[in-house]
């Protein structure tokens, strides 16, 4: 059986929320947090590198 | 065995409270974490729940006179301010306070650990005024 994992990047300016949401999603089956960053250029750079399936902003 | 550390979280937006509560519960599974709507009498909630740590946008410091607790006061987000790049906070633990420009989960966990050490292990009578604000200027946070 092929188990698909959704690769997620979290982009939010507030570290408290970003870290908390990353922790919550990382505990969810079928979700892999491949990156977190503030909004803006850093997010664009990280997304270009990791090529996530979903970007949460 | 010492009692569990009680954490009261009253933040807006509620999403912030929920993810913080999850993270604290995950990192410190022995802690009892409560989420409270800040519009519903936080001071009364503090006196009822007797938390060791309060994380809120506006901490009811007067409640600390009856029941000493440590606190993390997180900047409020207001809709008419637009996107706020950094979310600062003021932290008070064991009679000292510190401001941080960007509050992180680890700041809350550090305050929680101090609350457990000072308020539970040593007892509330040990605390040098848990809700008092003093300028220390050290980089402990």
Chain-chain contact of A17 with B22 (C-beta, under 8 angstroms):
no
B71 lies in a domain?
A: yes
Q: Which residues of B92-117 are buried (b: 16+ CB within 10 A; e: fewer)?
A: bbbbbbbebebbbbebbbbbbbbbbe
Q: Which two tokens stand for residue B90?
A: 């003021």
What residues 5-24 of chain B have any CB closer than 8 A to a CB of chain A?
15-16, 19-20, 22-23
Contacts of B66 (CB under 8 A, 6+ apart): B47
> Does residue B138 form part of some domain?
no
Which pLDDT does position B136 carry in this prediction?
37
Q: Is A27 on the interface with B (CB under 8 A)?
A: yes
Q: What is the CATH number of the domain that holds B71?
A: 3.40.50
* CATH number for domain A6-56, candidates 3.30.70.560, 3.40.50.2300, 3.40.640.10, 3.40.50.970: 3.40.50.2300
Q: What interface predicted TM-score (ipTM) does this complex get?
A: 0.86
- Residue B97, domain extent: 6-126
Residue B133 is assigned to a structural domain of this protein: no
For chain B, say whether A19 makes contact (Cβ under 8 Å).
Answer: yes
pLDDT tens for residues B1-36? Answer: 567 999 999 999 999 999 999 999 999 999 999 999
Whether residue B27 lies inside any domain: the answer is yes
State the pLDDT at residue A23. 94
CB contacts, 8 Å: A24 with chain B: 19, 22-23
Q: Domain limits of chain A?
A: 6-56
Strands A31-37, B89-93: pairing is unpaired
Are the CB atoms for A48 and A21 separated by under 8 Å?
no
Q: What integer is the mean pLDDT of B104-118?
A: 93
Give B123-133 pLDDT, tens digit per residue. 655 555 444 43
- pLDDT > 70: percent of chain A: 95
Check residue B78 and give its pLDDT: 72
């Amino acid at each position: 059986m092929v188990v698909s994992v959704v690769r997620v990047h979290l982009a939010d300016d507030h570290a408290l929320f970003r870290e908390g949401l990353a922790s919550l999603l990382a505990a969810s089956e079928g979700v892999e947090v491949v990156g977190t960053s503030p909004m803006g250029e850093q997010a664009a750079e990280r997304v270009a590198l990791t090529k996530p399936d979903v970007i949460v902003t | 065995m010492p009692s569990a550390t009680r954490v009261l979280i009253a933040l807006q937006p509620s999403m912030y409270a929920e993810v913080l509560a999850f993270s604290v519960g995950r990192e410190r599974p022995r802690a009892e974490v409560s989420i409270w709507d800040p519009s519903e009498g936080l001071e009364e909630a503090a006196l009822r729940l007797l938390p060791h740590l309060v994380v809120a946008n506006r901490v009811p410091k007067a409640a600390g006179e009856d029941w000493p607790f440590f606190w993390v006061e997180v900047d409020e987000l207001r809709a008419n301010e637009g996107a706020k790049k950094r979310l600062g906070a003021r932290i008070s633990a064991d009679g000292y306070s510190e401001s941080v420009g960007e509050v992180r989960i680890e700041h809350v966990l550090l305050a929680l650990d101090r609350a457990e050490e000072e308020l539970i292990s040593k007892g509330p009578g040990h605390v040098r005024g848990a809700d008092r604000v003093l300028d220390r200027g050290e980089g402990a946070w």
